[in-house]
Structure 1
Amino acid sequence: MSSRRANKSKDIKVVDLFCGVGGLTHGLILEGLDVVAGVDNDVSCQFAFEQNNSSKFIYKDVSKFSSKELEELYGDAPVKVLVGCAPCQPFSAISKSKAIGKDDDRNRWAPLYRFIKLIQDTKPDVVSMENVPDLCNTKKYPVFADFLKSLSVAGYNVSYKVVDVSRYGVPQKRRRMVLLASRLGEISLIPETHDKTNVVTVRETIGHLENLKDGEVHKLDVLHRSSRLSEMNKRRIIATPKNGGSAKSWSDDLMPDCFKRDSGKSYMTTVYGRMRWDDASPTITTHCTTLGAGRYGHPKQNRAISLREAALLQSFPEYYQFDPPEKISMVKTARHIGNAVPVQLGRVIGESIKRHIETHRATARRK
């Protein structure tokens, strides 16, 4: 994955709602888009966003971010783009087997409804949203049906699809819904760039990093640090075969009680496992440096992956700074990394927007 930056477009201005530490923003910037500001209600994201993107971080809940403020950020830009990844907690907090009705507490969906209102008021030329795949189920989540209808009424051409980001060069199996909408004409995500024969692998992404013990911090890279394991978890990771092994190889004395129940047998292949060298990693979450939270064991070393490895698997460049060295935290930084839009997916969205605008301009010149 190249971190080469395209030349900055002077006439396309972007605002990133729910920006976090700037994964989406950084991908757009690498594609030459001018992200003038990011908006988020988590002030702990400010350092990373501003340090790496030379863009303004607005510490504010999007519900209190006004259309006037948004218009002022755009100024007289010829092309205005609004992007965002609304928090997905509502989708994880609700039973996936339960339908959500229109009469549900509207506050649960406030971020998406606010996103709709800002679009209606300011009418940006292009809109993009990245979110969890389940949101596409409009019967279960009427808020998305409302979102689509509002875009259509406002004159937008809309496309959306669920993608596995490993098919776009992210070294991670992660399914996300990506929506693109434009007032300029039809718009869609660029075709997939990878398939199962050329997926970017864990080995390619983290194989060059120096060995690390559990609980150790690398002396030259403060982000290359791993969680300290309990004595039991040390025994478990040692007993887990290298390169993709799982708890199926453990002796009974290593099994947690939950594994011994019929309902817990599936856990034996989904948690405490090791990543495979020559495949994309599992989905990087906010608990990605915790051995028992998923298949987050290093393929070879007896530990969970480090913060640096997690960031690389999220396609953050090695130069990306998440906090001053003395403020790096296993819990906070893992949350920042896991919540981010992969930078490479940001680049794909940015390239899709650029191609769309260039096509629209070429068509307009021919008329």
Structure 2
Amino acid sequence: MKHQSGMNEVDTTIEALVSAVDLFSGAGGLTNGLERSGIDVRLGIDIDPACAYPYTANNKANFVLKSVEDVTAEEINDAFTNSRLRLLAGCAPCQTFSTYNQRARETDSRWWLLLQFARIVKEVSPELVTMENVPNLERQNVFQEFVQTLKDEGYKVSYQIVNCAEYGIPQQRKRLVLLASKLGAIKLLDPSLCGSGLKSVRDAIGDLPPLEAGGKCDMDPLHRCSSLSPINLRRIRASRPGGSWRDWDKELIAECHKKKTGKSYPGVYGRMEWDQPAPTITTQFFGFGNGRFGHPEQDRALSLREGAILQSFPRDYKFVAPDQDISIATIGRLIGNAVPVKLGEVIGRSILAHVNELECRAAVLSGGMQYA
């Protein structure tokens, strides 16, 4: 059986071989990517109630509303019933490690959630582990503790910082990706093996219906954008793709940017460029003043749907039930926090390639491969 993905066709005849549980699942970006690669995701766990609908409406896996701190090995093992190879996956909340967070401290409870991930790894002992997070995490002691725990538990570990744009995701987003396996050495697939060239903003969202600031599309309720104040409407009209507030007339420049400390933030109040990948999609991408999130030619910020597409979510991905009101701030947070779906797919394909390689090697040596 073949599964048509955003990359190449993927052979899913071995999909029952690897089952997964997604810790810190969010709205399902990583899960959706893993499923598209052919991995059988059984369960997603997150503490945010807003994640429940998008996770279950778009994915096959079940969802549990719970803090990972309270998750037991028994719950994980129940989800892995009848699994041949088990994958524990997740992206611990990354805001505390982000370069945008200048006040990150070990007193932030999120700092230690990675150690809860390590606890579950030790208690469940899955054959495979993957984690995705911001690059800054690599420099933190808590990450090195996590890596050492994996090695002490018998895993071969690899990790690297990747730019999502190299894998065909239409944004410049650098992420730390870790893979670990008890079966042998494992690594992330090279971009050249994933069949995806550079994808631009135009490629991703150039065909969406035009909107005015504060408007929405009748055909897609998620294709809606925030309104702009009169001064911000003047500012965006004065902005050029790839430019910044430094291009404006003096009367348009915010007082905070006239100060010496404000001059180091040229990336806010900017328009994206049609023929380049988007900047990193944050949880505030729906606000023109929050980054280079102005539409390349329309006088508005990105819509929710555009942000989701730039995060490589499918165009029909559902984020809110039909009978519920749409909160731009809530859905923007879900989209910005998500693992890009295509990066999840690359991770899944890398894991399956690793398993296939071992299976083929074992077949050559002994005529077959058995897993407990």
TM-score per shorter chain, which class?
over 0.9
Matched, 1:71 2:71: no
Following superposition, the deviation at residue 90 of structure 1 comes to 2.4
Shift of 1:89: 2.8
The SS at the match of 1:193 is helix
Task: Tell me the amino acid that sits aligned with residue 110 of structure 1.
Answer: W
Q: Distance in 2 between matches of 1:95 and 1:219?
A: 37
Cα displacement (A) at 1:249: 2.0
- Structure 1 CA distance for aligned equivalents of residues 208 and 332 of structure 2: 18
Letter of the aligned partner of 2:18 in structure 1? I
Q: CA deviation at 1:331?
A: 0.5
TM-score normalised by length of structure 2: 0.91
Is the deviation greater in 320-329 or in 290-299?
Answer: 320-329
Q: How many residues align?
A: 357
AA matched with 2:238: A
Distance 1:223 1:239 in 2: 27
The offset of 1:245, in angstroms, is: 2.9
Instruction: Please say if 1:7 is aligned against 2:12.
Output: yes
Matched with 2:369 is none
Please name the residue that 1:202 is paired with.
Answer: 201
Specify the alignment match of 1:59 in structure 2. 65
Assess, with a 3 A threshold, how the Cα gap between structure 1 residues 93 and 265 changes in structure 2: closer, same or farther. closer
State whether structure 2 residue 308 is matched by structure 1 residue 302: no
CA distance in 1, matches of 2:283, 2:275: 23
Instruction: Quote the residue 1:38 is aligned against.
Output: 44
Q: TM-score scaled by structure 1?
A: 0.93
Contact 1:26 1:343 in 2 (8 A): yes
> Unaligned 5+ residue runs, structure 1?
none
Change in CA separation of 1:235 and 1:135 when aligned onto 2, cut-off 3 Å = same
CA contact (8 A) 1:166 1:173 kept: yes
* Structure-1 separation of matches of 2:263 and 2:193: 33
Identify the match of residue 125 of structure 2 among 123, 126, 132: 123
- More moved, 202-211 vs 319-328: 319-328
Amino acid at match of 2:6: S
Is the 8 Å Cα contact of residues 169 and 194 (structure 1) preserved in structure 2?
A: no
Query: What residue in structure 1 maps to residue 137 of structure 2?
Result: 135
Question: 337, 341, 344: which one pairs with 1:339?
Answer: 337
Matched residue type, 1:72: D
Match of 1:249 among 241, 247, 262: 247
The corresponding residue for 1:177 is 176
Corresponding position: 1:110 with 2:109 = no
- For the Cα contact (< 8 Å) 2:98–2:134, is it kept in 1? no
Deviations 1:298-356 (A, max 9, x none): 00000001111100000001110001244221110100100000001001001000000
Q: CA deviation at 1:18?
A: 0.1
1:49 aligns with 2:55: yes
Aligned position for 1:214: 213
3-state SS of paired residue (2:161): strand
* Equivalent of 1:353 in 348, 351, 354: 351
Q: AA paired with 1:120?
A: K
> Unmatched 5+ residue regions in structure 2?
366-372
- SS of 1:297's partner is coil
- After superposition, the CA RMSD in angstroms is 2.1
* Cross-structure match for 1:276: 273
Task: Output the CA distance in 1 between the equivalents of 2:188 and 2:363.
Answer: 23
Q: In structure 2, what is the equivalent of residue 329 of structure 1?
A: 327
Name which of structure 1's ranges 282-291 and 86-95 shifts more when overlaid on structure 2.
86-95
CA contact (8 A) 2:270 2:294 kept: yes
Letter aligned with residue 36 of structure 1 = R
1:124 counterpart letter in structure 2 = P
Q: 1:106 to 1:303 in 2, by over 3 A?
A: closer
Partner residue in 2 for 1:313: 310
Pair 1:223-2:222 in alignment: yes
Q: Hey, what's the Cα distance between the residues in 2 that align with 1:214 and 1:109? A: 37
* CA-CA distance at 1:107 after TM superposition: 4.3
- Please tell me whether the aligned partners of residues 168 and 194 of structure 1 are also in contact (alpha carbons under 8 angstroms): no
1:25-66 CA distance string (max 9 Å, x none): 000101111000100011110000000002100111000000
Provide the secondary structure at the position in 2 that maps to 1:37.
strand
Q: Percent identity?
A: 43
The Cα shift of 1:244 comes to 2.2
Provide the secondary structure at the position in 1 that maps to 2:284: coil
In the other structure, the counterpart of 2:261 is 263
Maintained 8 Å contact 2:170/2:312: yes
Q: Say whether the 8 Å CA contact 2:25–2:90 is kept in structure 1.
A: yes
**Amino acid paired to 2:361:** T
CA deviations 1:143-178 (Å, max 9, x no partner) are 111111111111000000001110111100011100
- Following the alignment from structure 2 to structure 1, what is the Cα–Cα distance between the partners of residues 299 and 100? 35
Contact map agreement 1:217 1:224 (CA 8 A) in 2: yes
Q: Determine the C-alpha separation between the residues in 2 that align with 1:46 and 1:231.
A: 37
CA deviation string 1:61-85 (max 9, x = no partner): 0000001111111013110000000
Q: Secondary structure at the match of 1:10?
A: helix
Q: Is the 8 A contact 1:37 1:58 kept in 2?
A: yes
Partner of residue 370, structure 2 = none
Contact 2:93 2:110 in 1 (8 A): no
Q: Separation in 1 of the partners of 2:267 and 2:246?
A: 10
